[in-house]
Amino acid sequence: MVDQREDQEIQREKGEATRRRKWEMRQERKRLQAQKQAEEEKRKRRQDEKFMREALRQARKAAALGDVPIGCVIVCRDKIIARGYNRRNADKTVLSHAEIISIKKACRVIGDWRLEECTMYVTLEPCPMCAGAIVQARIPRVVIGSKNPKAGCAGSVLDLFHEKGFNHQVELETGVLEQDCTELLQEFFRELRQKRT
């Protein structure tokens, strides 16, 4: 009788130890998974910042011409395939927005009007024309520096990227090098005001 009780006790303890071990293994797996995910996100962010820096370089070219500094690059399989900057004033046409110029170049490189494997990096949230072109070109992902509360169509005034009525939705990333993108614009308008007075 005593032996049987001892036996049961041993079995119970064994069961408990196994359950604890399994629980610990599950926790460890979860921890490693979360760590891997965090590292992947960090890598993605670094990559996004690298390409946004090139978009900023493009934006400075616009400022040098006296155009509002907005720059854009289009990336396909981790490679920049098109660059553009705002030339509205230089070309005397609204069709010379950074995004439209970049889309045209990217289409020439890819040899198609569809840019389905591309990511666009742009220093300022796109206007309705450019947001429309992005949807039309089926660009799957757009990364934005600054928001544009007065004309932005990626969520500020309108959200053309997540319009359920359209057959294409755009994944959006915002706030990448936001401060640099905003300061560049502020500096441009500050200098413009100074020149006028």
Binding site for Zn ion (CB under 5 A): 97, 127, 129-130
Between residues 110 and 133, which has the closer beta carbon with respect to Zn ion? 133
**CB-nearest residue to Zn ion:** 130
73 in helix, strand or coil?
A: strand
> Which ranges in 65-177 belong to alpha helices (H)?
88-91, 98-110, 128-136
Question: Minimum CB separation from Zn ion for residue 70, in Å?
Answer: 8
Provide the edge-to-edge strand list for the sheet that holds 118-124: 79-85, 71-76, 118-124, 141-146, 171-173
Between residues 23 and 189, which has the closer beta carbon with respect to Zn ion? 189
Length of the chain: 197
Question: Minimum CB separation from Zn ion for residue 104, in Å?
Answer: 13
54 is catalytic: no
Between residues 109 and 129, which has the closer beta carbon with respect to Zn ion? 129
Question: Minimum CB separation from Zn ion for residue 128, in Å?
Answer: 8
- CA Rg value for the chain: 26
Gap between the Cα atoms of 85 and 116, Å rounded? 22
Between residues 80 and 151, which has the closer beta carbon with respect to Zn ion? 151
Start-to-end CA span in the chain (Å)? 103
**By the 8 A CB rule, do 153 and 145 touch?**
no
Active-site position among 13, 99, 116, 171: 99
Question: Minimum CB separation from Zn ion for residue 131, in Å?
Answer: 8
**By the 8 A CB rule, do 52 and 143 touch?**
yes
Residues classed as catalytic: 99
